[in-house]
Each structure stands twice: as structure tokens, then as C-alpha cells.
Structure 1
Amino acid sequence: MSDARPLQQAETGAEAPRNITRQIADNIRDSILNGELKIDERLSTEDDLAERYGVSVPTIREALKRLAAQHLIRSKRGPGGGIFVNRPSFEQARENMVGIMMMLSSLGSFSLIDIAEFRHDMGLMCVTYAVQRRTDDDLAALERELALQEDATISDVDFCAADVRFHQALAQATGNGVYSFFLQGLLEVLIPPANMVVFKFRDRMLICGFHRRILLGVYSRNQRAAEEAFIELMGYLRTKYAEAQDWRRTMDAKS
């Protein structure tokens, strides 16, 4: 990081150290993302970084903690140890994305209608590719989750989890790494809040029926049948989302 410069903001006050910590972490992160710092490259020591940025060692340590939490760096002890640029795995990258989406979802950044539209458009593409590319393992995963959903004795929480995994398996069946990466993570965030809002209004067995038709279409490579079943599922959910939102507005008005 030859272009790293001491930060102009002084380390004074309660807010200043936090801002400086974020700036340092962002500076190092940018150096990693733009390729200035290479994968497995050793970073300078904490003392050297503190001198380079004109801050204290504790401030550098806090910045490095931020980067470690993002899986961008790793520490190694012993001879040849130090702090190295990490190569995040797909799972770690997905965890980062899921964490951000969960935060936005908890802040109410996405409406149920937003979620329904996203699931409709992206899910339909998944169905199209899954019909063409699914494997026997994909079919087994879909069947396994659907069998759980069809068990009337499971809780709404367990039904929701099986619902998420069914659609994640559908994304996996596309054979497309990008769809699988993004949708498996996003569905884990977007479906549960929506499901737990509409569980009062939905018919679980009716949803299972839509899922069964989707699975049969994917199994028989009948694209039209699978897509029609998925479109009907999304139409049904849109109706239930609208009912749930109306009910929530009524409850809010009464409180």
C-alpha cells in the first residue's frame, strides 16, 4: 500500500476514533479489491501501519478487526506468521451478503410486494434453467424438502425453513453458479420474514401443491408446466401478502 497516507482527522473525541477506524479499514479494503494487495500477501505490522496512517496501534487493531469480520484478512501465528490477505470462500461471501440483507430487511427496506416481485422474476428464470439442467441429486433435494412441507405436524417455523430450502434447491438445480450463489443467500433472508407475516393467511397444503407441480415439471422436463405452477404460486403469495399488509395496517391503526 505505497499510496497510503496519514489520515488528516485527529484522534480526539468519542466519534473521531470510530470514523478513523472505518476510514483505515475502507482504505485497506479498497487496496485488496483493486488488486494492489494480492491474495496471501502479508500486510505490514501493526506498528508500521500505525506509523503510516498516523494513528495509534489500538486504532489499527480495530480497523483490522473490521476487515477480519469481512473475511478479507486472516492472522497466522508462529514463524512466518502475521496478517495476510484472505481469499474468501463462497460461503463466507454469502454470509457477508446475507448479513447486509438481513439488516436492510429488519429496517423495513423491502416491502412484501418488493419481495414478491423479486421472487417471481428471478424464480421464474431458475425454473427455466432447472428444467433444462437438473440432476438426480437436485430432484432428490427438492423431493426431500417437499416431503417435509407435506408433513402436517411440523411447525410453521419448520415449514418456512423447508420452504426456503426447496427454493434454494431450485436455484442450485439451475447449474448456474451466479444464480446459486446469490439466490441461495437472498432467499434465506427474504422468504422467512414474508412467510412469518402471511402464515395466518396462507394454506400450507395449497403451497405444497404448487411445489409438487413445480417439482413434477422439473422432473419431466416440462418447462411450461413448471413455469405455470411457479407463476400460480407467486400469484397466490402476492394475494396473501396484500391481505397480510392490509391486516397489519388495520392493527397499526387500532394501536
Structure 2
Amino acid sequence: MSLEIAPIAQRSLSSQIAQQIRQAIMDGSLKADDRLPTEGELALRYEVSRPTIREALKRLAAQNLIRSRRGPTGGTFINRPSTADLSDALSSATTLLVGMDAFSLEDINQTRLLLETNCLQLAATQITTAQLDELAQELSKQQNDQLTPEQFCASDVRFHRLIAEASGNPLLSFIMVSIIEALQPISNMITFRFRERSVMADQHLRILQALKQHDAEQACAVLAEQVNYLSEKSQQAQQWKATNPTKPE
């Protein structure tokens, strides 16, 4: 285990300490299952108080980079982040940026189209029967008129997540799933008053049919149709919001 102690400025001490330890994890100086020094030892090394170290460790634990274990062999250990953990972290960061208006809905739709087109092209050549069955199950849910908007949104996200996973490319799937989990629910909840669920379910049906026939061109064409449809509905939602401002309570 190697943890290099760099000088710490007097601003946001816990954040800076957490960033140093995080960097040591990312560059491999600290490896999975390495044991960190105790709070007291870290406080001495960094020349800060134990509460400051405790706050830094809380930040790292919130990112699932470390774990604590009690007992004689206990302590604080470096985690081995899973793909799901990292995907969740990317999704959370992306959601935060959307909430801060760093991305527009048009940015979201363009990014989704570019990435998911690649996913469909790959999926069309290698999708399995089991994966087709899973897509069909989600489509069946979406065709149920009793589904709430939230349930429809969740099924929509799962449908497109399955497409990403069917690409067989773990890196592309990782990026696409992170975007789907973060952005598609936001897009769905903005447009749900204006879109027709039957239109989206029909588009999903045609994507599924194209994948069954290994027809990447048709699947991508239907995806582009859906993204354009949602883009139009997003514009309608924004226009409606502009003319129907929320009244202060």
C-alpha cells in the first residue's frame, strides 16, 4: 500500500483529503482491500483534526470507495468498485448537471441517438433469444393501459437498457446505461403530458421486430423516429410551461 501525503491548504480540508485518497485509489497507489491508517494516524499525517478525517472518510464512503469493518481485524478498507457502482456514480453526476441546466433536452436526445444507434447496430447482429424475450416482456407491460406514468417510464428505461446490454460491448453499454438511467426518466417526466404511450409502444414493437430480423437499419430508423417524436413533445412541453407559469402559493 502506498499513500503519498501532499500538503493541504486551509480551505475545505476534508474535501481535499478525500480527493487525495480518491486519486491514490484511481492511480493504483491504493489497491482493493488495502487497509487505510486509522483516523488518528491520518490526522497526524495530514496535521488536521480527527473530525476532519472522519468527514473525509464519509465522503469516500458515500462514493463507495471505502468500507469499514469492526472487530480485531477491522478497520477502513479500499473497496473494489463494481461496474454498477461506477455507473450509478456517473448517472448521479449526470442527473445533477441536468438539474443545473448544464445540458438541454436537445443535448440529451442527440447523445441518446448517437450512442443507442451504435448499440442497435451491434445488438442486431448478436442479440440472443433470451434478450429478445426480455424486450418483449417490457413491451407487453407498456401495452397495458392501466400502467401509471411512473411505471411506464420505468419500463421504457428498462427496454432501452436491455438494448444497450444486448450490444455486447461492455464499455458502450456502461456509458449508455449511465445516460439512460440519468436522463431518460427526466425526459419522460417532462413530456408525459404530451406524448402518447401507444405511439412509443408501437415504436418499441417495431424496434423489437427489426432486432428479431437482425435488421439494424430498420431498428435505427425507428429509434430516430422516436427520438424526433420525443424532441417535438419536449418543445411542446417547454412552450406550455412558458405560457402556463407556476403561480406562487
* TM-score, structure 1 as length reference: 0.91
1:185 aligns with 2:178: yes
**SS class of match (1:216):** helix
Aligned Cα RMSD in Å?
1.8
Mapped partners of 1:154, 1:110: distance in 2: 30
Counterpart Cα distance in 2 of 1:97 and 1:29: 15
Tell me if the contact between 2:18 and 2:56 (Cα under 8 Å) persists in the aligned partners: yes
Mapping 1:18-167, distance limit 5 Å: 19-167=12-160
> How far apart are 1:249 and its partner, in Å?
2.1
Partner of 1:194: 187
Question: In structure 1, what is the Cα distance between the partners aligned to 2:90 and 2:38?
Answer: 29
Give the AA of the match of 1:44.
P
Partners of 1:6 and 1:54 within 8 A in 2: no
Stretches of structure 2 that go unaligned for 5 or more consecutive residues are: none
What is the letter of the counterpart of residue 180 of structure 2?
L
Aligned residue pairs, count: 247
- Write out per-residue CA displacement over residues 62-111 of structure 1, whole angstroms, 9 at most, x where no aligned residue: 11111111111111222222111110111221221222122222222221
Asked whether 1:205 is paired with 2:181, we answer: no
What is the distance in 2 between the residues matched to 1:156 and 1:222? 30
**Which deviates more from structure 2 when the two are superposed, residues 73-82 or residues 28-37?**
73-82
Which whole-Å CA distance do the structure 2 matches of 1:183 and 1:126 have between them? 8
Q: Distance in 1 between matches of 2:3 and 2:135?
A: 51
Segments of 4+ moved more than 3 angstroms: 252-255
**Inter-partner Cα distance in structure 2 for 1:246 and 1:3:** 54
- Percent pairwise identity: 41
CA distance in 2, matches of 1:214, 1:136: 15
* Alignment gaps of 5+ in structure 1: 10-15
Shifted more, 154-163 versus 101-110: the winner is 101-110
**Cα distance in structure 2, aligned partners of 1:21 and 1:169:** 40
CA distance in 2, matches of 1:3, 1:228: 53
1:119-143, Cα deviation, whole Å (9 max, x unpaired): 1111111111110111112101111
The C-alpha deviation readout for 1:43-68, integer Å capped at 9, x for no partner, is 11111110010011111111111111
136 and 27 in structure 1: CA distance in 2 versus 1, 3 angstrom threshold: same
Q: In structure 2, what is the Cα distance between the partners aligned to 1:50 and 1:190?
A: 40
